[in-house]
Amino acid sequence: MMTYPTVLRNPYIIGRPIDEPEKFFGRERLFHFIEDNLRQGVKFILLHGQRRIGKSSVLRNIPHFVGSDEFVFVPFDLEFYSQEPLSSILVALAQDIIEHLELDADKIRLPSVAELEAEPYIFSSQFLPKVYEALGEKNLVLLLDEFDLLGIDYSVPVFEDFFPYLQSILELDNKLFIIPFVGRQSLDMPNLLSLVKGVPCQEIGLLDELSAKRLITKPAEGVLNYETEAIKAILELSAGHPYFTQVIGFAIFGRARDLEKWQVSREDVESIVDKAIESAEAGLAWFWDGLSSTEKVVFSSVAEAQKIAIEKADKVPQDSLNLLKKYGVYPKDSLVKAVKQLVEFGFLDDTGRRVKIELVRRWLVQRHPLRQELEKVKKLEKSESNEANNIYIHTHQGSGIKQEQEIEVSDKGALVWLGKKHHSLPQPRQKRILLSSVAVIGLISAAVGFGVYQLATPCLPSENKKLGIFCIANPIINISRGELTLFPITGNTNRDLGIEAFKKGNYSEAAQFFKQAVADNRNDPEVLIYYNNALARKQGSRLTIAAVVPADNKANLAKEMLRGIAQSQNQFNQKGGLNGKLLEVIIANDANEQEQAKQIAQELVKDKSIMGVIGHNSGEATNAALAEYKLANLAIISPTSTSISLQGDNFFRTVPSDHPAGKKLAEYASQTLKLKKVVIFANPESTYSDSMREVFTKYFEKLGGEVVHPPLINLADPKLDVDKEVPKSVWRYQAEGAALFPDTQHTDVALKVIKYNGDLIARPQNTQKKGLKLLGGNSLYNNDTLILGGKAAEGLILAVPWFKNSPQSKNFSQAAAQQWGGEVSWRTATSYDATQALIKALSINPTRATVLQQLKEVNLSPQETSGESLSFGSGERKTQPILVKIEGGEFKLVE
């Protein structure tokens, strides 16, 4: 029996700025730079750096490390006031100065908005002198966060009025200093540069090696013992980036606490990389979201070139532009410029051939593989605004003319001819198509009018050629018993050797390699499944089921599902199976795409050995495949799809549907929280999101409540302005609560709602502390909500299918943690239950009909599942969802 040292709180900090100076490491040179300039009388000092580089932590720690004998510091966030008039900005600034410096408000009168509208210089001529009188000999330094708002648009009030006002009083006021903070990818912003030309400027960059080592070891000093190679491995992954260093430390500490293993080796560091990537998803996304289409393709190609170099043990990766040529993408100036831009951003090293931060590179290879990004580009209907990305697509043709057709996409998505050039071309004859945007590659056939033909570059056996240009995964071949990996990004030499042996039918040899692969990476469920599959094949007669997961674009989520399936399969086979017949699990990848899910289903039903299917993940993918399974009388058990629209004689699920979850949340909102008005944030195009909205609305209104701004605020709307919708819901619609039902693609938007709601409540001018009580569904039940939501997520109530700390769940939770080397999610638990149910329905010589009938009669005890008894009524699991609450930065059971 494992014990959990729950009293040990994770000391690594992610998702919030560091306030405590004893927990802040490094930046000594930066603080010396600031102090030297202030003491020399420099009135304006500019600091800049990437997002997530620790800018907010630096801002909060300047008062602790810089000239406290001579200066006082007041932070002021311009983000909240970019659209406010000068008078309102000055009132808010004056109020922050009094509150932050704890000055006597009775002695220093705050000017009113009306007074400042009539005479703005009351602030500098009357208010500031009173402040200086209270400060004595000390000078006032304003720390202006989000200063880059000024670089966006000359027309915003904070630019038009506030900054010129500060400039004018700085010249006359010898006790006022200003330090603005910029958090953009580049300082290449003409508006901003024109303002700050000639002023001292310093980058908040990566930590030096000594500071990074302190950040790794000091927070957990006396608890974790880092081996030298472990520290080196963390530095290799994070490159001294403070956010990613903290993320890695957070994951390491969590694993050590689960296993009660306090010695950290290089192998321990490697084992948590996927978990760290999952936790850092929002921070990692910043590296991607602001890039142009061309920059994204180049960024992915550099990561891919590095991956190839690592596999071949090459010291220097190939030029990413040469790699793109192998995909039929022939670069022109725009790609070269994109490389230079990524180097300037600090995303690539000076050579342009390596992603500077290894964790970012691994994330790119996982989430944005090059083939996938080129396929996305193909689907775009119009180019990004103000962009002309010239890329040659090289194609064969039999004429003796080389044509360059220059194409541009208009703002309406139409293709416009810009011109033609004709040149003689020696044999073999070819043609080239010059595109003005990478975004129109997929439109070549229809637009150019003379077709696109097969390129010389061949596709892999598991891929299809699309439009003669793109190699994309063939979903029919993306099914494996052990012949290929669905997670090629996860490196494992013994796994690859096992796959080769499995393909040759050498199942004894394959089993040995897979067994070693399990030892190499115990957290990887795919290799445990393949190990058991090799044993089943070696045994001869076997029982077969299939598992369908989104391996392409939701790798971590897919592995969560597969862990439950692998754990159940392994237990069954270790006990000798059923009369000597072992269980084989076929894994298929549907990428959460409806068309691919349908094709996968069509292939699985053809394999008569398959007695049942576990999956798919999303409601949309499940619905697309359901009809195919029904025609074949093949049972499907979903461990994750909760949509109430999913029904059928052959459909079962081990997760409570949206009906009991939505009902329970509505009852809690009305009867416990006593809410009368609630606003709903959801995605109407998602079956999960919309069915949760539908059920919650039905029961909340039945209990006398009102959903304001009906039916919902669309989280998927690209024009959604969270900063406006949250206060509008509170003040205009008088909403008291918010129900957040994002699909997995839009949880980041829901987190913005949570964060802004917290900011709204904390505003000094919000004296009533009005805000929204928060409720949500299982899509928010993850570490991102805890970490990225931070204090703003405190009190959030979620309806979830399974909770590790429920009394009935602890036995499975501990066994799973021991199996996988860390805590598991609810998807692992419900997938385990689905596999247990299918195993129970199998017999010596099963048929699809007998399995289907037996599933309707399954009755598993809590000891046979993840904690709750399991039986199906009309395909639905006869259990209720569990309510959990975020409290003290943790999920806790709502009694």
CATH number at residue 699: 3.40.50.2300
Residue 452 β-bridge partners: none
> If you compute the radius of gyration of the chain from its CA atoms, what whole number of angstroms results?
30
Same-domain pairing of 38 and 62: yes
Q: Are residues 515 and 467 in the same domain?
A: no
* Angle (CA) 685 285 773, round 5°: 60
| Residue that is last in its domain, among 800, 825, 842 | 800
Helix, strand, coil content of the chain in percent (nearest 5): 45, 15, 35
Q: Please name the residues in contact with 193: beta carbons below 8 A apart, sequence gap of 6 or more.
A: 187
Please enumerate in sequence order all residues whose Cβ is within 8 A of that of 760, keeping only pairs 6 or more positions apart, or say none: 726, 727, 730, 766, 770, 771
* 667 and 648 in a common domain: no
* 105 is a domain residue: yes
Instruction: Name the token pair of 525.
Output: 């469920």
Residue 244 lies in a domain: no
Spatial CB neighbours of 458, under 8 Å, sequence gap ≥ 6: none
Helix (H, G, I), strand (E, B) or coil at 586: strand
Report yes or no: 573 and 585 within 8 Å, Cβ to Cβ: no
Final residue before a domain boundary, out of 783, 800, 817: 800
Note whether 641 and 664 are same-domain residues: no
pLDDT score of 192: 53
User: What Å distances lie between residue 558 and 198, 598, 670, 740, 826, CA to CA?
Assistant: 52, 18, 36, 23, 12
Structural contact between residues 382 and 405, judged by C-beta atoms closer than 8 angstroms: no
First to last CA, the chain: 26
Q: Which domain holds residue 563?
A: 479-653
Q: What are the φ/ψ torsions at residue 142 (nearest 5 degrees)? A: -90, 125
Extract the runs of DSSP E, i.e. beta strands, from 554-698: 582-589, 610-614, 636-638, 651-653, 677-682
In a shared domain, residues 627 and 501: yes
> Which residue from 654, 657, 626, 653 is spatially nearest to 644, judged by alpha carbons?
657
Single residue among 624, 653, 682 that ends a domain in this structure: 653
- 373 & 431 share domain: yes
Domain co-membership, 438 together with 562:
no
Consecutive 10-residue averages of pLDDT for the chain (895 residues): 54 83 89 91 87 85 88 85 80 90 85 88 91 93 74 48 79 88 55 59 89 93 93 94 94 89 93 88 80 88 91 83 78 79 88 93 90 74 39 34 32 29 32 32 30 35 40 59 88 91 95 94 95 95 95 84 97 94 96 90 94 92 93 95 88 92 96 96 92 95 94 92 90 94 90 92 84 94 86 95 91 92 91 97 93 94 94 87 93 90
Q: Is the separation of the CB atoms in 380 and 354 below 8 Å? A: no
What is the model's pTM? Answer: 0.55
pLDDT reported for residue 672: 96
* Residue 392 covered by a domain: yes
User: Which residues does 336 contact at the CB level (< 8 Å), separation at least 6?
Assistant: 321
Pairwise CA distance, residues 824 & 189, whole Å: 45
Evaluate whether residue 273 is within a structural domain. Answer: no
What pLDDT, on the 0 to 100 scale, is given for residue 285? 81
What pLDDT sits at residue 874?
Answer: 83
Check whether residue 39 and residue 140 sit in a common domain.
Answer: yes
Spacing of C-alpha 436 from chain mean position = 31
In whole angstroms, what is the distance from residue 674 CA to residue 695 CA?
A: 19
Is there a domain that residue 828 lies in?
A: no
In a domain, 534, yes or no: yes
DSSP E strands in 658-785: the ranges are 677-682, 706-714, 737-741, 773-776
Q: Clarify whether residues 293 and 440 are in a common domain.
A: yes
The three-class DSSP label of residue 391 is: strand
Phi, psi angles (nearest 5°) of residue 582: -90, 160
How many domains would you assign to the chain? Answer: 4
How far apart (Å, rounded) are the C-alpha atoms in residues 475 and 616? 14
What span, in angstroms and rounded, lies between the C-alpha atoms of 782 and 275?
Answer: 11
Same domain, 680 and 700: yes
The backbone torsions φ and ψ at residue 398, rounded to the nearest 5 degrees and listed phi first, read: -90, 0
What does the pLDDT read at residue 258?
83
pLDDT for residue 80:
66
Q: What pairs with residue 72 in β-bridges?
A: 140
Residue 33 is assigned to a structural domain of this protein = yes
Indicate whether 636 and 751 sit together in one domain.
no
Place of tokens 């931060």: 357
- Domain holding 171: CATH number? 3.40.50.300
> What DSSP assignment string belongs to 256-307?
HHHHT--EE-HHHHHHTHHHHHHHTHHHHHHHHHTS-HHHHHHHHHHHHHHH
What Cα–Cα distance (Å) separates residue 169 from each residue in 78, 123, 172, 636? 18, 10, 5, 71
Helices (H), 473-617: 493-503, 507-520, 525-539, 555-574, 594-606
Residue at 778 is within a domain: yes
Please check whether residues 314 and 173 belong to one and the same domain. Answer: no
